[in-house]
């Protein structure tokens, strides 16, 4: 699946200890976006504010189905068809 553009409310981003996570939609389908702790910290250094303080954050994300992830990375609370994607680098994030 090619990278998808999604917009996330900063307030919806949750700290998961090793990474950050947000739920958004692509059309009617709910998807999960993970943001590495290093990318989150790089964002704060670049913009001078936490990502969670922005009304809208645009991201380009590589998504894959939960069932296609290695077993250790699957989310057991999500269906196998649920899309989960990660933001690879700061260049994939922008704010308005």
Domain with 72 in it: what CATH number? 2.40.50
pLDDT at 1: 63
Cα four-point dihedral sign 12, 94, 43, 53: negative
Asked if 50 and 59 touch (Cβ cutoff 8 Å), the reply is no
Asked if 29 and 83 touch (Cβ cutoff 8 Å), the reply is yes
For residue 55, what are the contacts with CB-CB under 8 A and spacing of at least 6? 9, 10
Domain that holds residue 81: 4-95
For residue 25, what are the contacts with CB-CB under 8 A and spacing of at least 6? 31
Domain count within the chain: 1
pLDDT, mean of each 10-residue run, the chain (96 residues): 88 94 92 95 96 96 91 87 92 92
pTM equals 0.88
């Amino acid at each position: 699946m090619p990278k998808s553009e999604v917009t996330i409310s900063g307030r919806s981003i949750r700290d998961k200890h090793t990474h950050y996570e947000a739920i958004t939609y692509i059309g009617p389908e709910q998807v999960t976006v993970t943001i590495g702790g290093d990318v989150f910290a790089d964002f704060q250094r670049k913009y001078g504010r936490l990502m969670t303080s922005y009304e809208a954050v645009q991201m380009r994300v590589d998504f894959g189905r939960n069932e296609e992830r290695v077993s250790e990375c699957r989310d057991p609370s999500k269906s196998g068809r649920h899309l989960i994607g990660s933001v690879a680098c700061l260049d994939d994030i922008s704010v308005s």
